[in-house]
Structure formats: structure tokens, C-alpha cells
Amino acid sequence: MHRRYTQRLLTLIVSLILLSTGYTSKAQYFGRNKVQYEKFKFKLLKTPHFDIYNYMENDTVIRKFADLSERWYYRHRNVLEHRFDNKNPIMIYNNHSDFSQTTLSSENIGQGTGGVTEGYRGRVFMPFFEANSQTDHVLGHELVHAFQYDILKTADSLSLYNIQNLPLWMVEGMAEYLSLGRKDSHTAMWMRDAVVSKDFPSLRDLTTTNKYFPYRYGQAFWAYVAGVWGDTVVKPLFVNTAKFGYQMAVDSTLGYEEKVMSNMWKTRTIENYKPFMQDTIALVGKKLIRQEDLGEMNISPVLSPDGNFVTFFSEKNLFSIDLFLADVRTGRVIRKLSSQAEKLHVDDYNYIQDAGTWSPDGTKYAYIVMIKGKSVLVIVDVRSGRTLEEIKIHSLPYFSNPSWSPDGQKMLITAMIEGKSDLFIYNIQNKKVRRLTNDYYSEFHGSWSHDGKTIVFSSDRGSDTELAKLKFGSYKICLLNVETGIVEVLNFFPGANNFNAQFSANDKKVFFLSNADGLRNLYEYNIDTKEINKLTKYFTGISGITEDAPAFSVSGKNDLIAYCLFRHGDYNLYKAAADEFPKFKVDPQVTDFTASLLPPFDLPKESVLSKNLENISIPYKDADYLKAPYRPKFSLVTVAQSGVGVGYNSQYGTGVAGGIGFLFGDILDRNQLYAVAQVNGEIYDIGGGVTYLNRAGRVNWGVGVSHTPYFSAYYGNPSYTDASETIVEYPFYKQRTFVEELALYTYYPISQTLRWELNTSFNHYSYRIDKFSDYYDAATGYYLGQNRTKMDSKALGFTPFDLVTVQGAYVGDNSQFGLTAPVKGQRFRFQIGQTMGTYNFTSATVDYRRYLYFKPWTVAFRGMYYGRYGKTEDLRALYPVYLGYDQLIRGYNSNSLYDNFSPDGKTGVDPNDLLGDHMAVANFEVRFPLTGPEKLSKIKSGFLFSDLAFFVDGGLAWSKGQDVQFSWQHVPGTASPIVSSGITLRINLFGYAVIEPYYAIPFQRYNPKPYFGLFISGGGW
């Protein structure tokens, strides 16, 4: 840390070892937090094929989950003809909020993720869901992935690296097909939409673009292949694709080229679905929201009690799902009621399975968010958008589907306790909770009658559900008497799923959605006469993102209906009064699920999968399961190496380069150990480090020790070795700076967007300097030889020293990332540090960044200050702060400043003017997405993602005691601002880095002329 280092004529940084110490605060200057709000007390249930890690107190529920796991094992084994050699770990969480806190993933898990399976150890982790069938399906889906990974790891000529040959649609589609089969009204809706939209993809389209949802189209493809060739073809096609890629695998396994196979699949799908187009009707009603206020996904409409306003979720701003309020009459969006990008303390919105609810007087609106790992009921004033109250129900950590009672005093909710869902009433006035149901059936989508006496909801209770055998039947509409608690099951449409039920204005009818005809239509049930009318006959369907998501709303005296229609790949909102819909009387006991099948309809007589899914037998008994405590222990997770090489150079001699890293961890990844070693030159250039990280609780902490050599080289001045001046010495110096560090760090996340950091490091710096002297005859220039000498580094001014640094920071980041840089939200970091030891000083950092999105433009601001405070002699011993990096101010790097002074030397920028103890930077950019996905960019591209930005950069560096001059003309040797402006292009290098060429005008240079620069970063600021 000596200033003379900057004065050398030539500095060659030959090797700089970067020790991967896992998590450190330095490694994440910004970024969202992975939060463990609670420390779950895991225990273990051992079954014949699984180790199930859980923290559930209800022993019955976890044993039933074990039964489901073993049943799926036998189902998948029969189709894939594969067995596990070792027990597969499964981690089950009590609800989705707990699941989002898992330590098994370093990424934040949103509402769109139902489960995860990772490859190295085959771990499956997932939550319980409100619907029993959903829990069963996600478990079956994830265990298909466990089989896929195990096949890759154990089959001949395969390894986990072959996963790169498998398209996502093939992997996820296979998991959907083997866990759901070919009868799936939701996927069938997507396929019918592809037919009517005349936008049916080829296999190449599925592989090379992200336009088509891989789960739905992949499932349909596998259903077609298995329907034509039989389920026994599933494994060979999967294995051959892993080996050779999908094109060669389709050709060799199925006997057709990819184009031919795509056309066969498309033709059969059109042939099977086209007849259903004949018995359809035109769209009923008008668009609910005007076109300029719509996104491509507009879901969960909820009408106000008087029918004048509506709320809905939309991604109209592309980078987040926000809650909007609109005028029903004009379709104009009035305001944004809530946005995750604007609320730093909110972790997530349940926009997929949930909607909100209006107060009876229409002045307030309530919706559910996740804050600190718990469900929170947020009540806002509709007119102002101001949050009135955030309600935590302490006895109910996870709840959904709120419905405001007609008297305005109570809230009906579905809550999950110990892995099962029930209905509850929360009294807003006295804060008391009343439990309405207490059973193992699923209950959700609860809604009040207008007289407050009855609640209508969906449940799997009924004769086709056998809980003892874990047979989950269809979802039926149920009526609950609020006073007595008696539940009446409306047994119509056997085998159909009926959702989203709501009362008419006079409480004599119930509107609901059903797939009774194999499609997804709106129905009307008369409570007195028991008659049912079909109100729509749509070829696609009324639906949310998932089959059981809320998709329509009824309100007002005339029963105004707002509904979400899936059409042309988008979710669109429409409105119509109930009497505008035609009424087609239907038989309540007749269903036809042909339209919900995935082609081909002419199924083979013998289907292994169909028999599997119909088989509900449990292969083991409770006696086959063993409970055990969870004891964490380290095991090797992975080994990574950077290769090994040996080289020789006449100047540097023989050198070796290579590195290796080890990652150890327990099965829950609560304890991790990173070890890395690397050599890049001689034996002195060996570096390494070991870091331990503990993520078991709310506070993440770690300790690391490392030895890091930094190597530099420079030439000295030639000199004569003797008085007669006959021999000339040309010295070359190789300097190594050794840094030994012991680091302690803690990380306390307040939420996913806010955190505190506290870090302490103990560092010892030492040096080794070797002098290589080349000798020449002064008269003839003849080379005489070379000599190597170890120099006394202290005599040269390089004295070993020790530092202890303590840093604390408050960090926030809720920004949304675009193609190459953030486009929405804000980031900030306020940090203070104290360094003690040989040198003593205090450092301070203030860094604030704001991103305003005006589709498609982003206006970005950054203001940053960094400074050191201490004694002058200590500050002068340190490397100075440097303002000229392109990441701070473009156009003032060392190349740009070469020979930029005026003839009289009074104008221009000296590189030393950009050094100091303090630095202030301000940046302004207007960003425009140039190439990338069609939804985001001006020019569509499937592989080249880039942004164009116009910028203005400015900054100032100064030292302690130095006067600052605020003038446009910069005088060499003074501290005054520098400013540049220009245009930059950021190019995303496939997610590994961002390359940024720019064209800038550095105004403070003498005779400023445009300068072209280029640098690589991890993304725009």
C-alpha cells in the first residue's frame, strides 16, 4: 500500500488469484437477500427409497406424504424401468412461505415455483399446497426429475453434463406427462388455443425460442409420442436425447426426422380438436380494460360491490406483477394499488392462486402479501392508494383467498396449518379467529353470500375421495352454514373440477367455472331448482395462470361479470352482465372430458402410465417407515478445477498454472465449507483459502482464512556495474505482495430487499522482491549473462504491516434487472468502516441508484461518495482512490489521458488529478432495449441481448486538505470536476458478463475529442 507503486514506468499484473470464499459481503455489493426468517427443526423419516426431511408435528400428515412418495416411486419405476441405488432425499415444507426460505437454493423462490430438484445429490424440495391433488402432482413431477438425474448419473455413456443436450420442454414436459397423464384440461386448453391461433410450434421452435411454455407443450408432445409408440418409448427417447440431442434422438428412436415428427404432431392435434370448434359461441361482452393499459397477462379481476371499479394483476410494466385499479365504465387504469418494486419490506405477492377483496362499502381493498415469512393482510384506501393497515394473524402464518364479510367486520380466509388447508374467519374488530373446518380435505376459494349466512367454496370432499387410500377426487362446490358449520356438497358434474364459486346478487344462484365439458366454461347453478345452465361455450377457456386460479368476479345488482379469457396465448379481461350470456341448460350428472384429452384420442389399449395413475395402492405400511433425528454432517458436494499448465519464459522462468476447488456441505446446505487452491507461476505464487458458512438461522455468518499472492513486475533503470563503465546492468524486478487474511462476516437480512452487514478482517501484508539482472558489454552490446538476487524489501520501502478492518453497512435492493442492467426500482448502500493497525483511518460509502421505467425507456440515476478520514501520514501510505475507471466515469481512463495537455500546460487532465482520499460520482443514463426478446426490445433476437444508452457522467476526486475548485475548465494539478457524455452499447455475453463499448466526449480534456472505449463488467450500474 505505497503510493510509489503508481509511479513505476511499467507494471505487469501477471497473476491475481481470486479466492472463492463462498458468501461474503464483498461478493455481493448489491443484490436481493435469501432470508431464513425461521430456523426449522428438521427431523428425518426414512422410507425404503427416500429420506424425508421435515419439521412437521402432525405425524399423520408426514406419513401420508411418505405413502405418496413411495407410490410415485413405483409408478415411475414401472414406466422408466429404473431403480434408485441409494435413497433419494426429499425436503418438505409446511407451506410455500416456508419453502421460499429454503437454504437449498441460493436464489429467491417466487410464487411461480412449485418445487425444485437439483442434480448433484438429487434433492427434491417442495411445500404442501392448499389442494391435496396439487401436492400430489408436484411431488410426482419432481420425482420424475429425480429419476431423470439418476438415469443420467448411472446409465452407460451418460453423466450430469448431458443435461445440456436435453431441451427444457422435453425435461419438464416429461415430468408433467408422467405425473398427470394425457387427461389435463389445462394443458388441453393451451393446445386448443395453439390450434385456433394457428400458432402451433415445431420441435425446433420449442427448442430455439422462449415463446412457447415448455411445461404445456412438452407435456402435449410426450402424450402424443406415448400415444402413438406406447409408454415404453419414453425412456429410450429421453436417454438418446441426452446422448445425441433431440433431433438425432427423434430420428433414431421414432424413425422420423424432426420436421416430419413436428408436422405429424401438429396434424393429429388439429384433427382431434377441430370438431370442438363447431359447438362454440362468439365472445360475450366487451373488453374490460382499454388496450393502452393492458399487458399480455391480465388476471384475477375483482369487481367493486357496486360494479363501478375493478382490480386486477398485470405485468403491463413487464418486470413485475402489479395490482391495478381501473374504471369499469371507461376501462381506464386509475392507479397502481401496489407494486413489489416499490415496497422494500414486501417479499412476494401470491398473484397466481390469489386475488383480493373489496370492503362492502367499496372504499377499501384487501390483498395478501408475504412479509418476513408470514402472510400479511394489507388494507388500502382505494381513492388514495394509501396503506391503512397491515394485519398479521399470529395463529395463522400462511393464509390466502380473502373474502370480506357483508357486515365489513370479518374476513374469510383459507389457511394452512401442518400441511393441510381449512377455512377460517378473522374478526377485523376484535382480532379473534374462528375455525370453520378441521379435516384433511382441501378447502379454498371461499366466498360469502350477501346475507352473510352462507359460504360457498371448492373442496375435494365427496364420494370419489378416499383419504385413507390417498385418492383425491374432483373439486366440488360446497355450501357452509356459517351458524351451524354444516357443509353441503353439491354433487353435480361427477369427475369435473369446479372452482371460483360466487353468489348472485339475490343469493339464489351460484356462478362457477367447470371443465365438465372438457373445456373451461362459466356455469350458473340455481340453489332452489338445482338446475344448471352453461353460460359460455369457448373453444379455449376462462382461466387464470393455473387451473384453480381465480378467473372471474361477480358484483352489482345486475350481476356484472368480469372474467379472464385465455386466447391467442394471452390472458384478457372482459365484462358482461349475467343476462347477456346465453343459457344452455345441461344435465348435472353428465360430463364429457374428451376435449380435455391430449391427442391422440385413439389411445392404445394397454397404457402403462394410465394403469399407473389409476393404481392408488400404497406399497408399504407404517411399520416400514423409521423416524430418526437430523444430524448434520459434511459430505463432498462437488469438485471444480481450472486446468493445469506448465510454461517457460526466458524472462520469468518456468511456471505452473492451475487450480482446484472443493465444496462440502450438509444435506440441507445450512453448513457449507469451501476450499480452494491455485498456483500461477512459481511456488511462491500458490494461494488458497478455506471458508465456512453457516446459514442455519436468521443471521448468516461465516469465517474464512486465506493466503493470496499478488504478482507484479517492472523494469528498473539501467546502470554501470563498475567504475570503468564497461558492463551495463538492466534490472527487472518481480514483486510479490502476500496477503494473509482472517475474515469474520455476518449478514442479517431484514427482508428480501433490505439487510444489515457487519464484517471484520485481520490482514497481514508482506513482500518478496526478486531482482533479475541482465548484463551487457557496454562497448559491443554483447550479452554477458543473467543473475537473480533476492532483495531486501524493507530497504526498498516495502515494510510488512498489519490491518484490522471493521465494516458495517445498510443495504437495499428491489431493482428489476432487464437485458443488461437494472430497469426499475432502486438500490442503495450506506457503509462505514474503521481500519486499525499500522495505519488507521475511517472510510464511508454512500451509494444510491434509482431506475424509472417508462416503457420501453429507463431513466437511471446514480449518486455515490467514498471517502477516507484519518491522519495525513496514514492516508498517504495507502493506495489512493482513483476516479478514472470506466465503470465510474467513461472517457478518462489512462489511455484517454495520454498527451492531452495544452501547449502552455494550463489546460487538460493529469492522471494524478483523478487520485485522492475522497471521490464523488454522479451518473445519468437513458436506456433503451435494442436487441433481445420481442416483448422487451426494438429488434427481436433470440441470442443477442443488448441495451443502448445515452449517458452523462461526472465526478470529482480530492485529497485531505486540498482545495476544490468548481469550474468547467480543468487546470492540471487541481481538484475540480470532470464530465463526459456520449453513447454506450451494453451486450450480454450469454449471462457470463456484459461487454460495454462506448463513445464519449471527455469535456475536461484539452481540445476534447470523442473517445472510444471498451470494458467488461457484470452488468450496468
**Core vs surface per residue 705-724: b (16+ CB within 10 A) or e:** bbbbbbbbbeeeeeeeeeee
User: What was the pLDDT predicted at 14?
Assistant: 25
pLDDT reported for residue 652: 45
Q: How confident is the model at residue 361 (pLDDT cuts 50, 70, 90)?
A: very high
Q: Tell me what percent of the residues of the chain surpass a pLDDT of 70.
A: 95
**Does the pLDDT at position 813 exceed 90?**
yes
So what's the pLDDT on residue 681? 76
Residue 642 — very low, low, confident or very high, per pLDDT cuts 50/70/90? Answer: low
Nearest Cα to Cα of residue 401 among 415, 381, 387, 418: 415
pLDDT at 146 over 90: yes
Cell numbers at 787, concatenated: 543473475
Strand blocks (E) in 778-904:
783-790, 801-813, 816-817, 822-837, 841-854, 857-870, 881-882
Query: Torsions phi, psi of 461, nearest 5?
Result: -70, 150
Q: What are phi and psi of 144, to 5 degrees?
A: -60, -45
Contact in structure between 793 and 767 (CB atoms under 8 Å): yes
Cα dihedral 415→419→422→427 (10° resolution): -30
Q: What is the mean pLDDT of the chain?
A: 90
Which of 17-26, 141-150, 664-673 is least confident? 17-26
Cα separation of 471 and 473, whole Å? 6
> CA distances (Å), 804 to each of 809, 834, 874, in order?
17, 8, 14
Give the mean pLDDT of 511-540: 97
Whether residue 857 is predicted with pLDDT greater than 90 in this model: the reply is: yes
Q: What distance in Å separates the CA atoms of residue 767 and residue 797, rounded to the nearest whole number?
A: 10
* CATH number belonging to the domain at 42-154+606-629, selected among 1.10.520, 3.40.30, 3.40.50, 1.20.58: 3.40.30
- Distance in angstroms (rounded) separating the CA atoms of residues 297 and 416: 28
Alpha-carbon dihedral 94, 95, 100, 105, rounded to 10 degrees: 50
- Residue whose C-alpha cell reads 484517454 in the numeric block: 896
Average pLDDT for residues 635-644, to the nearest whole number?
77
> What is the predicted pLDDT for the residue at 571?
92
- Residue 397 binned pLDDT confidence (cut-offs 50, 70, 90): very high
Looking at the chain, the number of H-run helices and the number of E-run strands are 12, 56
Contact in structure between 790 and 833 (CB atoms under 8 Å): no
**pLDDT of 380 strictly over 60:** yes
Q: What pLDDT was estimated at residue 645?
A: 52
The second-level CATH assignment, the architecture, of 829-1020 is: Beta Barrel (2.40)
Higher local confidence (pLDDT), 435 or 10: 435
Specify which residues 984 forms β-bridges with.
Answer: 949, 998
Q: Check residues 41 and 26 and name the one with the higher pLDDT.
A: 41
Contact 89, 82 (CB under 8 A): no
pLDDT higher than threshold 70 for residue 697: yes
Domain boundaries, the chain: 1-30+630-814, 42-154+606-629, 161-284+591-598, 286-579, 829-1020
User: Is the per-residue pLDDT at 84 higher than 50?
Assistant: yes
Rounded Cα gap, residues 670 and 970, in angstroms: 54
- How far is it, in rounded angstroms, from Cα 1006 to Cα 75? 77
Report whether 539 contacts 276 (CB < 8 A): yes
Q: What pLDDT is recorded for position 933?
A: 84
**pLDDT, tens digit (0-9, with 9 covering 90-100), for 1000-1016:** 999 998 878 899 999 99
Most confident stretch, 153-157, 543-547, 607-611: 543-547
User: pLDDT for 314-334, tens place per residue?
Assistant: 987 777 788 999 999 999 999
- What are 740-766's pLDDT values in tens digits? 999 999 999 998 899 999 999 999 999
pLDDT at 1: 38
Q: Average pLDDT, stretch 197-213?
A: 93
Q: What is the mean pLDDT of residues 414-423?
A: 94
Encode pLDDT of 893-920 as tens digits: 988 887 777 777 677 888 889 999 999 9
What is the torsion angle, in degrees rounded to the nearest 10, for the CA atoms of residue 188, residue 189, residue 192 and residue 198?
Answer: -120
Is the pLDDT confidence value at 991 over 90? no
pLDDT of residue 881: 93
Sign of the dihedral defined by the CA atoms of residues 174, 175, 176, 180, in that order:
positive
**Residue 856, preceding bond cis, omega within 30 degrees?**
yes
For the residues 423-432, what does the mean pLDDT come to? Answer: 96
Instruction: Tell me what pLDDT residue 452 has.
Output: 96
The predicted structure's pLDDT at residue 684? 85
* Better pLDDT: 9 or 168: 168
Burial of 762 per CB tally in 10 Å (0-12, 13-18, 19+): middle
Cell of residue 640, nine digits? 471444480
Grid cell digits, residue 436: 370453520
Whether 28 has a pLDDT exceeding 90, the answer reads no
18-22, 155-159, 754-758: which is most confident: 754-758
Specify the range with the lowest mean pLDDT, choosing from 105-109, 474-478, 860-864: 105-109
- Per-residue model confidence (pLDDT) at position 437: 96
Higher per-residue pLDDT: 302 or 210:
302
Q: Which of 552-561, 701-710, 900-909 has the lowest mean pLDDT?
A: 900-909
- Per the CB < 8 A criterion, the answer to whether 871 and 838 are in contact is no
CATH placement of domain 286-579:
2.120.10.30
Higher-pLDDT residue of 495 and 8 is 495
β-pairing, 498-503 with 487-490? unpaired
* 4 pLDDT above the threshold of 50: no
pTM: 0.89
What's the whole-number mean pLDDT along residues 537-555?
95
Mean pLDDT across the stretch 196-222?
95
Angle at CA 37, nearest 5°, toward 31 and 38?
A: 145
| 542 membership: H or E segment, kind and range | strand 541-542
- What is the β-pairing status of strands 570-577 and 286-287? antiparallel
Tens-place pLDDT, residues 276-287: 998 899 999 999
Distance of CA 346 to the CA centre of its chain: 16
Residue 343: its pLDDT value, please? 74
C-alpha cell at 146: 429425480
In 3-state terms, the chain is what percent helix, strand and coil (to 5)?
A: 20, 40, 40
Q: How confident is the model at residue 656 (pLDDT cuts 50, 70, 90)?
A: low
> Would the pLDDT of 651 be above 50?
no
Q: Looking at the domain 161-284+591-598, which fold is it?
A: Neutral Protease; domain 2 (1.10.390)
Average pLDDT over residues 94-116: 91
Q: Is the pLDDT of residue 16 over 80?
A: no
For residue 859, pLDDT beyond 60: yes
Pairing of strands 560-567, 541-542: antiparallel
pLDDT tens for each residue of 862-890: 999 999 999 999 998 888 999 999 999 99
